[in-house]
């Protein structure tokens, strides 16, 4: 026998939990589905385990997008201060580390626990670990086939993330579902990647591995002033990853 919901959210990461919590607190009957045993693994490893959860200087000018108005709308509806107000309610201590970057004083687990509590306040039903085998349209609703049974929902939110970190469970699930329903996709390409040296240069600079220096890194008209890190393979750090 299938279970009926207003909203099914697939992916219990930061976006999925926030979406489920808000929908639930607005009176929707919500189920949150994830194939992993643990919640929000990407939050857990972010910021060196302390979760760099926002930046107080966030603005539309910080984003590159095909539709520049999207981030204007999103950031006007929910600002960094709105999230800080949420942290205040849960008495989560944080600090500014560098250029407006905010980190938890204790652990990224504080953010995960907060989002889980917000979902519980919204009466969200948890389905974890639960693997989705197929999603199909049935009239005006969606039928979700899982290894824990069939779920029916009026709306489905895919919040399963991209392909960036397979070792913590990232898959191409979202891309497959988008293609199935005929949604336009921009072919994904690697981003936030380090630069690697050729063998001869790597041998010369290998002794610098682990050293970080302030740097201005430019490509064409775009430049970033941040830390640059020498690694055992080449260059990384904020300046390199942004360029």
Domain at 202, CATH number:
2.40.30.10
Q: Does 86 reside within a domain?
A: no
- Same domain for 203 and 135, yes or no, is no
Q: Name the DSSP letter for residue 50.
A: T
Per-residue pLDDT of the chain (243 residues; tens, 9 = 90+): 789 999 999 999 999 999 999 999 999 999 999 999 999 999 999 988 999 999 999 999 888 888 889 999 999 999 999 999 999 999 999 999 888 999 999 999 999 999 999 999 999 999 999 999 999 999 999 999 999 999 999 999 999 998 888 888 889 999 999 999 999 998 888 777 889 999 999 999 999 999 999 999 998 888 989 889 999 999 998 889 887
End-to-end CA distance of the chain: 52
Asked if 30 and 124 touch (Cβ cutoff 8 Å), the reply is yes
What's the CA gap between 75 and 7, in Å, rounded?
24
- Same domain for 148 and 38, yes or no, is yes
Q: Name the DSSP letter for residue 138.
A: E
What's the CA gap between 5 and 31, in Å, rounded?
7
The total of other beta-carbon atoms located within 10 Å of residue 48's CB is 9
The three-class DSSP label of residue 107 is coil
Alpha carbon distances (Å) from 22 to 18, 28, 39, 64, 160: 6, 9, 17, 27, 17
Structural domains counted in the chain: 2
What pLDDT, on the 0 to 100 scale, is given for residue 199?
93
What's the CA gap between 160 and 173, in Å, rounded?
7
The three-class DSSP label of residue 18 is helix
Say which residues have a Cβ less than 8 Å from residue 172's Cβ, sequence separation at least 6: 163
What pLDDT, on the 0 to 100 scale, is given for residue 194?
86
- Same domain for 161 and 200, yes or no, is no
Q: Name the DSSP letter for residue 187.
A: P
What's the CA gap between 242 and 192, in Å, rounded?
7
- Same domain for 44 and 137, yes or no, is yes
Residues spanned by the domain of 207: 195-242
CB burial class (10 A; 0-12, 13-18, 19+) of residue 152?
A: middle
Q: Where are the alpha helices (DSSP H) in the chain?
A: 14-25, 41-45, 68-77, 80-89, 109-121, 173-180, 199-205, 238-242
Q: Does 81 reside within a domain?
A: no
Q: Does 89 reside within a domain?
A: no
């Amino acid at each position: 026998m299938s279970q009926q919901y207003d909203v099914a959210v697939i992916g219990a990461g930061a976006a999925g939990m926030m979406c489920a919590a808000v929908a639930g607190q607005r009176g929707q009957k919500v189920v949150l589905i994830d194939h992993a045993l643990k919640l929000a693994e990407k939050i857990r490893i972010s910021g060196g385990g302390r979760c760099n959860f926002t930046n107080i200087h966030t603005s539309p000018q910080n984003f590159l997008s095909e539709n520049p108005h999207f981030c204007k709308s999103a950031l006007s509806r929910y600002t960094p201060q709105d999230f800080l107000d949420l942290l205040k309610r849960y008495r989560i201590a944080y600090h500014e580390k560098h250029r407006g970057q905010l980190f938890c004083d204790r652990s990224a687990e504080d953010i995960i626990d907060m989002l889980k509590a917000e979902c519980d306040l919204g009466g969200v039903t948890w389905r974890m670990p639960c693997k989705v085998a197929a999603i199909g349209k049935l009239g005006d609703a969606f039928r979700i086939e899982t290894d824990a049974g069939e779920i029916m929902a009026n709306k489905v939110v895919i919040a399963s993330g991209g392909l960036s970190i397979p070792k913590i469970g990232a898959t191409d699930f979202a891309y497959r579902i988008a293609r199935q329903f005929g949604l336009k996709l921009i072919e994904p390409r690697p981003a936030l990647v380090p630069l690697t040296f050729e063998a001869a240069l790597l041998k010369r600079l290998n002794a610098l591995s682990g050293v970080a220096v302030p740097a201005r890194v430019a490509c064409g008209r775009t430049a970033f002033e941040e830390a640059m890190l020498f690694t055992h393979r080449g260059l990384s750090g904020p300046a390199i990853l942004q360029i």
